[in-house]
Chains A and B, each alone.
Chain A
């Protein structure tokens, strides 16, 4: 089982819709959870981090964490074509400060 799993996509949504990106992780001791956006040929850009169960909102983005289910998600409201990118879920495990990345979900927002 991979440590951090994401559906590779592509996830295609129309402009203005809500995009829902999901991630599961295997280390139950994980404490910190991150969402990064990566455009083709560029390095990852931090969008949000979340440490506690529940929702965390920042503008059009909402991260949701459920530690009991070992599940973290990212919702993007009012999706724009400029949101089209690969979204990487990353987790810091219980024992180290290493970021473990999922393989990413490719999001395509259709104009």
Chain B
């Protein structure tokens, strides 16, 4: 299989706090991991692309100082939403590009963030 996990699955936090979301590929090594955001009834929007050991590449309009990405190993990437505000409330989904599997991305189950 190609299993990707995310933790936590759901988080509620107060405005101004920071939240860390972990993404792990459980049974394969991921060349690249991707972070997406999805608002209700909207499609997935790519936020950033991260490669192990290097800085993430952010999409236009995504603040890199607000959404910190660390790709520590071939199986773990983290997204930290710093100084979260209610407008950051969304469904955050990571995916992993399986090494040797070219373009196929496998998605984690997602993290529902609610900022009060």
A32 to chain B: closest residue by CB: B103
Contact of A43 with B109 in the complex, beta carbons under 8 Å: yes
Binary contact track A44-59/B, C-beta < 8 Å → 1, others 0: 1110010000000000
Do most interface residues of chain B lie in helix, strand or loop, or is the interface mixed?
strand
Bound: A23/B45 CA distance, A:
18
A44 to chain B: closest residue by CB: B107
Bound: A97/B51 CA distance, A:
12
Contact of B104 with A43 in the complex, beta carbons under 8 Å: no
Q: Interface extent on A, as a size class?
A: 20 to 34
Tell which of A41, A97, A100, A103 has the most Cβ of chain B within 10 Å: A97
Q: Interface extent on B, as a size class?
A: 20 to 34
Bound: A82/B106 CA distance, A:
21
Residues of chain B touching chain A, judged by Cβ–Cβ distance below 8 Å, are 32, 34, 42-44, 46, 49, 93, 95, 97, 102-110, 112
A-B contact pairs, 19 of them (CB 8 A): A32-B102, A36-B107, A42-B109, A43-B93, A43-B107, A43-B109, A43-B110, A44-B93, A44-B107, A45-B107, A46-B104, A46-B106, A88-B44, A97-B97, A99-B34, A99-B44, A99-B46, A101-B44, A103-B43
